[in-house]
Structure 1
Amino acid sequence: MKLLSSLLLLTLLSACSSSPVVFAKYQRNYDFGDIETYRFYERNSQFSDYQNLSFSFRNSIEIAIEKTLDLNGLTYVETDDSDIIVAYYIVSNSSRNFKRYNRGVRFCEYCLAAYGREDEKRTILPAYPGSLVVDLLETEHERVIWRSVGELKLEEEDNSNQVQQKVRAMIAEMFSQIPLKGK
Protein backbone atom coordinates (compact mmCIF):
# COMPACT_ATOMS: atom_id res chain seq x y z
CA MET A 1 0.00 0.00 0.00
CA LYS A 2 2.86 2.36 0.85
CA LEU A 3 4.46 1.65 -2.55
CA LEU A 4 1.18 2.33 -4.33
CA SER A 5 0.77 5.64 -2.47
CA SER A 6 4.32 6.65 -3.37
CA LEU A 7 3.77 5.81 -7.03
CA LEU A 8 0.51 7.75 -7.08
CA LEU A 9 2.20 10.78 -5.50
CA LEU A 10 5.06 10.59 -7.99
CA THR A 11 2.61 10.39 -10.88
CA LEU A 12 0.65 13.38 -9.62
CA LEU A 13 3.79 15.44 -9.09
CA SER A 14 5.09 14.67 -12.56
CA ALA A 15 1.69 15.50 -14.07
CA CYS A 16 1.74 18.87 -12.31
CA SER A 17 5.26 19.62 -13.44
CA SER A 18 5.37 22.70 -15.61
CA SER A 19 8.65 21.81 -17.32
CA PRO A 20 8.42 19.72 -20.48
CA VAL A 21 10.35 16.46 -20.55
CA VAL A 22 13.32 16.72 -22.88
CA PHE A 23 16.30 14.55 -23.68
CA ALA A 24 19.67 15.78 -24.88
CA LYS A 25 22.99 14.40 -26.06
CA TYR A 26 26.14 16.23 -27.02
CA GLN A 27 29.78 15.70 -27.80
CA ARG A 28 31.53 16.09 -24.50
CA ASN A 29 34.83 16.92 -26.17
CA TYR A 30 33.34 20.02 -27.85
CA ASP A 31 34.00 23.28 -25.97
CA PHE A 32 30.54 24.83 -25.74
CA GLY A 33 31.99 27.64 -23.62
CA ASP A 34 33.62 29.10 -26.74
CA ILE A 35 30.29 29.61 -28.52
CA GLU A 36 29.49 33.30 -28.92
CA THR A 37 27.47 33.52 -32.16
CA TYR A 38 24.84 31.44 -33.91
CA ARG A 39 22.72 31.48 -37.03
CA PHE A 40 19.89 29.55 -38.63
CA TYR A 41 19.82 28.07 -42.09
CA GLU A 42 18.31 30.55 -44.52
CA ARG A 43 14.63 30.11 -45.36
CA ASN A 44 15.40 29.36 -49.02
CA SER A 45 18.10 26.79 -48.21
CA GLN A 46 17.95 23.01 -48.53
CA PHE A 47 17.11 22.90 -44.82
CA SER A 48 13.68 24.39 -45.56
CA ASP A 49 12.97 21.51 -47.94
CA TYR A 50 13.24 18.93 -45.15
CA GLN A 51 9.75 19.71 -43.88
CA ASN A 52 6.73 21.80 -44.64
CA LEU A 53 6.19 24.18 -41.71
CA SER A 54 4.12 27.31 -41.88
CA PHE A 55 5.91 30.65 -41.79
CA SER A 56 4.32 31.51 -38.43
CA PHE A 57 5.30 28.18 -36.85
CA ARG A 58 8.90 28.59 -38.05
CA ASN A 59 8.88 32.09 -36.56
CA SER A 60 7.58 30.79 -33.22
CA ILE A 61 10.39 28.25 -33.03
CA GLU A 62 13.13 30.63 -34.16
CA ILE A 63 12.02 33.48 -31.88
CA ALA A 64 11.94 31.11 -28.89
CA ILE A 65 15.44 29.90 -29.75
CA GLU A 66 16.72 33.46 -30.24
CA LYS A 67 15.32 34.64 -26.90
CA THR A 68 16.75 31.66 -25.05
CA LEU A 69 20.20 31.91 -26.63
CA ASP A 70 20.26 35.69 -26.12
CA LEU A 71 19.60 35.10 -22.40
CA ASN A 72 22.62 32.79 -22.43
CA GLY A 73 24.86 35.52 -23.85
CA LEU A 74 24.95 34.35 -27.46
CA THR A 75 24.55 36.70 -30.42
CA TYR A 76 22.55 36.02 -33.56
CA VAL A 77 24.42 36.74 -36.81
CA GLU A 78 23.24 36.39 -40.39
CA THR A 79 26.67 35.68 -41.83
CA ASP A 80 28.34 32.36 -42.50
CA ASP A 81 31.04 33.03 -39.89
CA SER A 82 28.89 32.08 -36.88
CA ASP A 83 30.23 29.67 -34.28
CA ILE A 84 27.26 27.30 -34.63
CA ILE A 85 24.21 26.69 -36.79
CA VAL A 86 20.87 25.99 -35.13
CA ALA A 87 18.52 23.59 -36.93
CA TYR A 88 15.17 22.18 -35.87
CA TYR A 89 12.65 19.62 -37.03
CA ILE A 90 9.11 18.64 -36.07
CA VAL A 91 8.85 14.85 -36.25
CA SER A 92 5.99 13.67 -38.45
CA ASN A 93 4.65 10.22 -39.19
CA SER A 94 7.14 9.91 -42.04
CA SER A 95 10.32 8.25 -40.87
CA ARG A 96 11.71 8.77 -44.37
CA ASN A 97 11.53 12.57 -43.97
CA PHE A 98 13.20 12.39 -40.56
CA LYS A 99 15.99 10.23 -41.97
CA ARG A 100 16.43 12.76 -44.76
CA TYR A 101 16.70 15.58 -42.20
CA ASN A 102 19.20 13.54 -40.14
CA ARG A 103 21.36 13.01 -43.23
CA GLY A 104 21.12 16.74 -44.03
CA VAL A 105 22.45 17.77 -40.60
CA ARG A 106 24.90 14.85 -40.51
CA PHE A 107 23.42 13.44 -37.32
CA CYS A 108 25.26 10.48 -35.81
CA GLU A 109 23.65 9.02 -32.67
CA TYR A 110 26.77 7.00 -31.94
CA CYS A 111 29.03 10.06 -32.28
CA LEU A 112 27.12 11.94 -29.59
CA ALA A 113 26.78 8.92 -27.35
CA ALA A 114 30.42 7.93 -27.74
CA TYR A 115 31.56 10.87 -25.65
CA GLY A 116 29.01 10.41 -22.88
CA ARG A 117 29.08 8.42 -19.69
CA GLU A 118 28.75 4.64 -20.00
CA ASP A 119 25.04 4.71 -19.14
CA GLU A 120 24.41 7.44 -21.73
CA LYS A 121 25.99 5.41 -24.51
CA ARG A 122 22.98 3.11 -24.58
CA THR A 123 20.36 5.84 -24.47
CA ILE A 124 18.62 6.55 -27.76
CA LEU A 125 16.84 9.88 -27.99
CA PRO A 126 13.09 9.26 -28.37
CA ALA A 127 11.60 11.14 -31.32
CA TYR A 128 7.89 10.47 -31.65
CA PRO A 129 5.50 12.19 -34.08
CA GLY A 130 4.90 15.68 -32.72
CA SER A 131 8.34 15.90 -31.09
CA LEU A 132 10.54 18.94 -31.57
CA VAL A 133 14.16 18.20 -32.41
CA VAL A 134 16.71 21.00 -32.00
CA ASP A 135 20.26 20.53 -33.24
CA LEU A 136 23.41 22.60 -32.88
CA LEU A 137 25.88 22.07 -35.70
CA GLU A 138 29.54 23.01 -35.76
CA THR A 139 30.13 25.17 -38.79
CA GLU A 140 33.24 23.61 -40.32
CA HIS A 141 31.56 20.33 -41.31
CA GLU A 142 27.95 21.29 -40.49
CA ARG A 143 27.65 18.23 -38.25
CA VAL A 144 25.46 17.89 -35.15
CA ILE A 145 27.35 18.41 -31.89
CA TRP A 146 24.25 18.66 -29.66
CA ARG A 147 20.70 17.40 -30.03
CA SER A 148 17.68 17.79 -27.83
CA VAL A 149 14.28 16.15 -28.33
CA GLY A 150 11.00 16.80 -26.57
CA GLU A 151 7.37 16.04 -27.26
CA LEU A 152 5.50 19.33 -27.83
CA LYS A 153 2.05 17.84 -27.17
CA LEU A 154 0.26 20.35 -29.38
CA GLU A 155 -3.50 19.96 -29.58
CA GLU A 156 -5.70 20.84 -32.55
CA GLU A 157 -7.68 23.22 -30.37
CA ASP A 158 -4.54 25.10 -29.20
CA ASN A 159 -4.62 28.72 -30.29
CA SER A 160 -1.48 30.49 -31.51
CA ASN A 161 -0.71 31.86 -28.04
CA GLN A 162 -0.88 28.37 -26.50
CA VAL A 163 1.34 26.98 -29.26
CA GLN A 164 3.89 29.74 -28.67
CA GLN A 165 3.87 29.11 -24.91
CA LYS A 166 4.48 25.38 -25.43
CA VAL A 167 7.28 26.06 -27.91
CA ARG A 168 8.95 28.63 -25.60
CA ALA A 169 8.76 26.30 -22.60
CA MET A 170 10.18 23.40 -24.63
CA ILE A 171 13.05 25.47 -26.04
CA ALA A 172 13.93 26.92 -22.63
CA GLU A 173 14.02 23.44 -21.10
CA MET A 174 16.09 22.08 -23.98
CA PHE A 175 18.75 24.77 -23.70
CA SER A 176 18.90 24.40 -19.93
CA GLN A 177 20.72 21.13 -20.65
CA ILE A 178 23.64 22.57 -22.57
CA PRO A 179 26.89 23.89 -21.07
CA LEU A 180 26.82 27.37 -22.66
CA LYS A 181 29.12 30.19 -21.57
CA GLY A 182 26.32 32.18 -19.91
CA LYS A 183 25.72 29.41 -17.37
Structure 2
Amino acid sequence: MRHGKKFNHLGRKTAHRSAMLSNMASSLIINKRINTTVAKAKALRKYIEPILTKSKTDDTNSRRVVFSYLQDKESVSELFNNVAGKIANRPGGYTRIIKTGARLGDNAEMCMMELVDFNELLLSETDAGKSKTRRSRRGGKGKSKNEEMPKAEAADVKEEVAVEEVKDEAKTEEVEAKAEEQEVPETEENKEDKKKED
Protein backbone atom coordinates (compact mmCIF):
# COMPACT_ATOMS: atom_id res chain seq x y z
CA MET A 1 0.00 0.00 0.00
CA ARG A 2 1.15 3.55 -0.75
CA HIS A 3 -1.26 5.53 1.38
CA GLY A 4 -0.28 9.17 1.87
CA LYS A 5 2.63 9.03 -0.60
CA LYS A 6 2.12 12.10 -2.76
CA PHE A 7 5.55 11.90 -4.39
CA ASN A 8 5.26 12.01 -8.20
CA HIS A 9 7.75 9.56 -9.76
CA LEU A 10 7.07 10.94 -13.25
CA GLY A 11 7.28 7.40 -14.67
CA ARG A 12 11.04 7.18 -14.07
CA LYS A 13 13.50 5.43 -11.78
CA THR A 14 15.19 7.56 -9.12
CA ALA A 15 18.44 8.23 -10.97
CA HIS A 16 16.65 9.18 -14.20
CA ARG A 17 14.22 11.44 -12.33
CA SER A 18 16.92 13.30 -10.39
CA ALA A 19 19.05 13.76 -13.55
CA MET A 20 16.04 15.12 -15.43
CA LEU A 21 15.14 17.58 -12.65
CA SER A 22 18.77 18.71 -12.41
CA ASN A 23 18.89 19.41 -16.16
CA MET A 24 15.55 21.20 -16.10
CA ALA A 25 16.67 23.36 -13.16
CA SER A 26 19.88 24.31 -14.99
CA SER A 27 17.88 25.20 -18.11
CA LEU A 28 15.44 27.31 -16.09
CA ILE A 29 18.27 29.22 -14.40
CA ILE A 30 20.12 29.90 -17.66
CA ASN A 31 17.09 30.65 -19.91
CA LYS A 32 14.76 32.07 -17.18
CA ARG A 33 11.81 30.31 -18.87
CA ILE A 34 11.09 26.77 -20.09
CA ASN A 35 8.13 24.91 -21.63
CA THR A 36 7.24 21.55 -20.12
CA THR A 37 4.33 19.48 -18.80
CA VAL A 38 2.45 20.61 -15.71
CA ALA A 39 3.42 17.47 -13.75
CA LYS A 40 7.14 18.00 -14.42
CA ALA A 41 6.85 21.71 -13.62
CA LYS A 42 5.25 21.00 -10.24
CA ALA A 43 7.98 18.48 -9.43
CA LEU A 44 10.64 20.95 -10.58
CA ARG A 45 9.19 23.69 -8.39
CA LYS A 46 9.74 21.56 -5.26
CA TYR A 47 13.27 20.80 -6.48
CA ILE A 48 14.43 24.31 -7.42
CA GLU A 49 12.86 26.57 -4.78
CA PRO A 50 15.21 25.37 -1.97
CA ILE A 51 18.17 25.78 -4.36
CA LEU A 52 17.16 29.38 -5.09
CA THR A 53 16.80 30.07 -1.36
CA LYS A 54 20.26 28.60 -0.76
CA SER A 55 21.75 30.90 -3.41
CA LYS A 56 20.85 34.01 -1.38
CA THR A 57 23.91 33.42 0.84
CA ASP A 58 26.96 33.55 -1.43
CA ASP A 59 29.65 31.52 0.32
CA THR A 60 31.70 28.44 -0.51
CA ASN A 61 29.44 26.01 1.33
CA SER A 62 26.23 27.16 -0.37
CA ARG A 63 27.95 27.07 -3.78
CA ARG A 64 29.05 23.48 -3.15
CA VAL A 65 25.60 22.42 -1.99
CA VAL A 66 23.95 24.01 -5.05
CA PHE A 67 26.54 22.42 -7.36
CA SER A 68 25.76 19.00 -5.87
CA TYR A 69 22.18 19.43 -7.14
CA LEU A 70 22.78 21.15 -10.48
CA GLN A 71 26.09 19.53 -11.60
CA ASP A 72 26.70 22.43 -14.00
CA LYS A 73 29.26 25.20 -13.42
CA GLU A 74 27.67 27.61 -15.89
CA SER A 75 24.23 27.51 -14.25
CA VAL A 76 25.75 27.78 -10.75
CA SER A 77 27.71 30.91 -11.70
CA GLU A 78 24.62 32.40 -13.42
CA LEU A 79 22.56 31.64 -10.30
CA PHE A 80 24.93 33.27 -7.84
CA ASN A 81 25.97 36.22 -10.05
CA ASN A 82 22.67 37.34 -11.63
CA VAL A 83 19.63 35.52 -10.27
CA ALA A 84 20.45 35.71 -6.54
CA GLY A 85 20.64 39.52 -6.64
CA LYS A 86 17.16 39.83 -8.15
CA ILE A 87 15.46 37.39 -5.77
CA ALA A 88 17.20 38.70 -2.63
CA ASN A 89 14.11 40.50 -1.27
CA ARG A 90 11.57 37.82 -2.21
CA PRO A 91 10.63 35.43 0.64
CA GLY A 92 9.94 32.35 -1.51
CA GLY A 93 7.72 31.81 -4.53
CA TYR A 94 10.48 32.40 -7.07
CA THR A 95 8.80 30.54 -9.94
CA ARG A 96 5.52 30.89 -11.83
CA ILE A 97 3.65 28.19 -13.77
CA ILE A 98 1.43 29.42 -16.63
CA LYS A 99 -0.69 26.75 -18.35
CA THR A 100 -0.56 26.83 -22.15
CA GLY A 101 -3.04 24.13 -23.17
CA ALA A 102 -2.74 20.51 -24.27
CA ARG A 103 0.03 18.91 -26.35
CA LEU A 104 -1.03 17.60 -29.75
CA GLY A 105 0.45 14.08 -29.62
CA ASP A 106 -0.74 12.74 -26.28
CA ASN A 107 -2.98 15.57 -24.98
CA ALA A 108 -0.64 16.17 -22.02
CA GLU A 109 -1.29 19.39 -20.14
CA MET A 110 1.52 21.82 -21.04
CA CYS A 111 2.78 24.92 -19.28
CA MET A 112 5.44 27.59 -19.28
CA MET A 113 7.55 27.82 -16.13
CA GLU A 114 9.50 31.01 -15.48
CA LEU A 115 11.40 32.89 -12.81
CA VAL A 116 9.06 35.56 -11.44
CA ASP A 117 11.62 38.38 -11.19
CA PHE A 118 12.69 38.11 -14.83
CA ASN A 119 9.34 38.75 -16.54
CA GLU A 120 9.58 42.48 -17.28
CA LEU A 121 6.05 42.80 -18.72
CA LEU A 122 4.25 41.45 -15.66
CA LEU A 123 6.53 43.37 -13.30
CA SER A 124 5.76 46.69 -14.98
CA GLU A 125 2.00 45.97 -14.89
CA THR A 126 2.05 45.10 -11.19
CA ASP A 127 4.11 48.20 -10.35
CA ALA A 128 1.58 50.38 -12.17
CA GLY A 129 -1.27 48.65 -10.34
CA LYS A 130 0.40 49.11 -6.95
CA SER A 131 0.72 52.86 -7.32
CA LYS A 132 -3.00 53.27 -8.07
CA THR A 133 -4.53 50.91 -5.50
CA ARG A 134 -5.53 52.15 -2.07
CA ARG A 135 -6.14 49.75 0.77
CA SER A 136 -8.82 50.28 3.36
CA ARG A 137 -9.73 48.45 6.52
CA ARG A 138 -13.18 47.21 7.21
CA GLY A 139 -15.05 48.19 10.31
CA GLY A 140 -12.82 51.03 11.50
CA LYS A 141 -13.81 54.65 11.99
CA GLY A 142 -15.54 56.22 9.03
CA LYS A 143 -13.86 59.24 7.50
CA SER A 144 -15.47 62.55 8.25
CA LYS A 145 -16.39 64.84 5.38
CA ASN A 146 -14.11 67.59 6.64
CA GLU A 147 -11.05 65.32 6.75
CA GLU A 148 -8.33 66.28 4.29
CA MET A 149 -7.64 64.30 1.14
CA PRO A 150 -4.60 62.03 1.09
CA LYS A 151 -1.46 63.71 -0.22
CA ALA A 152 -1.35 61.67 -3.42
CA GLU A 153 -4.94 62.62 -4.33
CA ALA A 154 -4.32 66.27 -3.45
CA ALA A 155 -1.25 66.31 -5.70
CA ASP A 156 -3.28 64.77 -8.55
CA VAL A 157 -6.01 67.41 -8.13
CA LYS A 158 -3.42 70.21 -8.14
CA GLU A 159 -1.86 68.83 -11.33
CA GLU A 160 -5.28 68.64 -13.02
CA VAL A 161 -6.08 72.25 -12.02
CA ALA A 162 -2.71 73.43 -13.33
CA VAL A 163 -3.27 71.64 -16.64
CA GLU A 164 -6.75 73.17 -16.99
CA GLU A 165 -5.34 76.66 -16.27
CA VAL A 166 -2.68 76.21 -18.95
CA LYS A 167 -5.37 75.08 -21.43
CA ASP A 168 -7.55 78.10 -20.56
CA GLU A 169 -4.61 80.47 -21.07
CA ALA A 170 -3.84 78.88 -24.43
CA LYS A 171 -7.49 79.28 -25.51
CA THR A 172 -7.60 82.94 -24.51
CA GLU A 173 -4.36 83.59 -26.40
CA GLU A 174 -5.83 81.92 -29.50
CA VAL A 175 -9.00 84.01 -29.25
CA GLU A 176 -6.99 87.23 -28.87
CA ALA A 177 -4.83 86.33 -31.86
CA LYS A 178 -7.92 85.68 -34.00
CA ALA A 179 -9.47 88.97 -32.85
CA GLU A 180 -6.33 90.90 -33.84
CA GLU A 181 -6.37 89.26 -37.26
CA GLN A 182 -10.01 90.20 -37.81
CA GLU A 183 -9.72 93.84 -36.68
CA VAL A 184 -11.64 96.32 -38.78
CA PRO A 185 -9.41 98.73 -40.74
CA GLU A 186 -9.36 102.18 -39.23
CA THR A 187 -11.74 104.62 -40.84
CA GLU A 188 -12.50 108.21 -39.94
CA GLU A 189 -15.52 107.16 -37.85
CA ASN A 190 -13.46 104.66 -35.85
CA LYS A 191 -10.80 107.31 -35.19
CA GLU A 192 -13.44 109.73 -33.91
CA ASP A 193 -14.89 107.04 -31.60
CA LYS A 194 -11.46 106.33 -30.12
CA LYS A 195 -10.86 110.05 -29.49
CA LYS A 196 -14.20 110.31 -27.69
CA GLU A 197 -13.34 107.33 -25.48
CA ASP A 198 -10.01 108.91 -24.49
TM class, shorter-length: under 0.3
Tell me the TM-score normalized by structure 2. Answer: 0.23
Tell me the TM-score normalized by structure 1. Answer: 0.25
Structure with the larger strand share: 1
Larger radius of gyration: 2
